[in-house]
Amino acid sequence: MTRLGHTQALLGPELFKQVRETPVLVVGAGGIGCELLKNLVLVGFANIEIIDLDTIDLSNLNRQFLFRKPDISKSKALVAAATARHFNPSSGIHIHARHGNVKESSNDLEWIKGFGLVMNALDNMDARRHVNRLCQAAGVPLIESGTAGYLGQVSPMMRDQTECFDCVPKQAPKSFPVCTIRSTPSEPIHCIVWAKSYLFGKLFGEDDEAVDTEELDKAQAEGENAEEIENLKKEAAAFREVRQALGEENGPARVFSKVFNADINRLLAMEDMWKVPGRVKPKPLEVDAIMDGSFVPPPLRTASKETNGQANGKKEETANGNQAVLKDQRELSLKENLELFVDSCRRLSARAIAHPDIVLSFDKDDDDTLDFVLATANLRATAYGIPNRTRFQVKEMAGNIIPAIATTNAIIAGLIVMQSINLLQKKYGAIRLPHLKADPTKPLSKQERTNPDPKCPVCRDVYVLFKTDVTRCTLGEFAQGAVREWLASSLNEDDFEFTILEGGRILADPDFEDNYEKTLAELGIERGKMLTILDEDEKYRPIHFCICEPAVNATTSFTLPDKCPQIPLRPVAPAPPQGSPSPEPEIIEALPLSVTSTISTKRGRADDGDVSLGSDALKKRKVDVEANGTVDGEDDDDIIVLE
């Protein structure tokens, strides 16, 4: 029996032929991607494309078994493909590997339509959303997956049959108020975020005074303590003086004196700040007292004592004396943290002086930056009576590392292949959402498939393949030919008023046609992007025209499908109960595309009861862009996000 004989006998000749012939896209060649690629080859999938932008790192080798030490710094996709071919060398399997970004302009709607199955093995939200939108637009089945330690899940998705990735709300990234991070930390993570996202950037990152001022102004506008904000502004100005002295012999000492002594004394002088119940006053650190062992750290906070030992100036002999403890898992003494702070400051200063054109940034795999964050976070924690963390813990928390286990990846990769068989047979009723749990008595559970969310701004919208030469087609030609003549006529709408958007940019609407004479290229629109149509009466779902390469030997500036797809109506919101108060008026500012599907761009009339964007307000959102122009949205500057 051949190597694929067992698979052929199990699946039967017809399904096995389908497996052999179906083109499959694997996005990601990391922990799940390596196991998945190996499984696909062994099952007999013969037409595989794999894409990944990442390169192989030493830390990958303990769980990504298609890579070896000589492969470090090479492309994950290329090496994974080369290794996987050896699992089935004589079976005619073709693996096309690409070292690139799945969001590249060449990876457009027409490209994704060339696959029968797409399998996500990604580790970031932005790429997942992008692939999901492409698959929903193309009607190509997608299998989403993910792992975290002993936990894992597989989610098969098919347009109109199951919910899509964006149908389910996602957990917001962990964020912390500015004043908590800079003035009143209470947990180790607060100190780590301060060291990584604030102090490191102030000393070695790009010096951006405007951004810092804007961040503090926004925090004050959101209601944070005004006196505290003013003090933080003075602190930011003082940092610029210290930063300039970093290259001097006493540079680290000046930084230490400012950050761990002067700034803490300044905070202590703000008596009202410490009247808040639960807040603990910090204790300024003194270099001489730490070095000669006479410094007495403040007691550990009661709520945190159980979290991580007592090497925060306590039981120092235990932390230092246990030589069997691995270096990265040993808590440093207070003196060791001070010495590491001075040493890492000197190393980073030398790098900054040697390469002034390169802005330093934190990297969990960069010993210099990790040592700095470790030392400064622990010194700050000591001052506030917060337990210290080991190098391993700081690396995990600052690098936002999700524990990865090879066995979990292998199980999830196997479940992906099993679900792919159901999708190939179009057995949508047999689709299940398997979950892997940290429960030895019942590690696997399943969830029945869920129908699409009727309000989903991704899978409920309409997508149209729009082949065009962006250097020839003007926005006016698109508006007239694609929207008024092709789209509006199929809707039997004689007076169809609409707004044209790209991403978060409004390019045109009934009162703004200044961009009509410009080509799409002049407006920064290229292959892979989408032009979105919102009707002014909010009657229909948004329609997205997906920009693709022009047809071969095309005589016109664009071509459209022969038949316009059915455009569904927007879901009608339920009427409020009788007697309930009317909602407060709301003014909506420019929003990104992910939410424009559900907002109104309709201008209010004099007799309208609600407040919507009037003509003047709407024109503030207009974009008269040059190539690649964008509109910057407002960030939540009053929080710090741990990336």
Catalytically active residues, by annotation: 179
Query: Tokens at residue 239, please?
Result: 């940092």
Cβ distance 382 to 393 under 8 Å? Answer: no
Query: Is 62 annotated as ligand-binding?
Result: yes
At 548 the three-state DSSP class reads: strand
Residue 567 in marked binding region: no
Q: Can you read off the two tokens belonging to residue 65?
A: 């078994």
76 belongs to an annotated ligand binding site = yes
Taking alpha carbons only, the member of 594, 600, 601, 595 closest to residue 618 is 601
Which position has the token pair 């940092």? 239
The response to whether 135 counts as a known ligand-binding position is no
| Helix or strand (DSSP H, E) at 533 | strand 530-535
Report d(CA 478, CA 579) in Å as an integer: 47
Would you say 31 is a known binding-site residue? yes
Find out whether 409 and 32 touch, Cβ atoms under 8 Å: yes
Alpha-carbon gap, residue 126 to 281, rounded angstroms: 40
- Residue 124 labeled ligand binder: yes
Is 167 annotated to bind ligand?
Answer: yes
Distance between CA atoms of 480 and 487, rounded to whole angstroms?
10
- What six digits make up the tokens of 622? 């207009």
Residue type, 51: I
125 marked as binding residue: yes
* 30 marked as binding residue: yes
Cα dist. 141→185, 447, 547 in Å?
A: 46, 18, 21
Give one DSSP letter per residue of 331-391, joined into a string: PPPHHHHHHHHHHHHHHHHHHHHH-TTS-----TT-HHHHHHHHHHHHHHHHHTT-----H
Distance CA 422, CA 427 (A): 5
Mode of pairing for the β-strands spanning 432-436 and 151-157: antiparallel
- Output the CA angle 476-482-484, nearest 5 degrees: 80
Measured CA angle at 460 (ends 458, 462), to 5 deg? 90
29 is in an annotated binding site: yes
Taking every pair of C-alpha atoms in the chain, what is the biggest distance, in angstroms? Answer: 86
CA neighbor of 331 nearest in space, from 381, 281, 283: 381
Q: Does the annotation place 61 within a ligand binding site?
A: yes
* Total number of residues shown for the chain: 643
Does the annotation place 60 within a ligand binding site?
A: yes
Find tokens 């009707």 and name the residue.
535
Contact of 603 with 618, CB cutoff 8 Å: yes
DSSP label at residue 591:
-
Dihedral sign from CA coordinates of 172, 177, 181, 186: negative
Strands (E), 471-517: 498-502, 505-508
Using an 8 Å Cβ cutoff, are 380 and 182 in contact? no
Could you tell me whether strands 24-27 and 117-120 are parallel, antiparallel, or unpaired per DSSP bridges?
parallel
Q: Among residues 164, 167, 119, 126, which one has the least CA distance to residue 143?
A: 119
128 labeled binding residue:
yes
- Annotated binding residue at 126? yes
**Residue 365 assigned ligand-binding role:** no
Rounded CA-CA distance 447/318 in Å is 49
Binding residues for ATP, as ranges, are 28-33, 52, 60-63, 76, 123-128
Binding residues for Zn(2+), as ranges, are 164, 167, 456, 459
Binding residues, as ranges, are 28-33, 52, 60-63, 76, 123-128, 164, 167, 456, 459
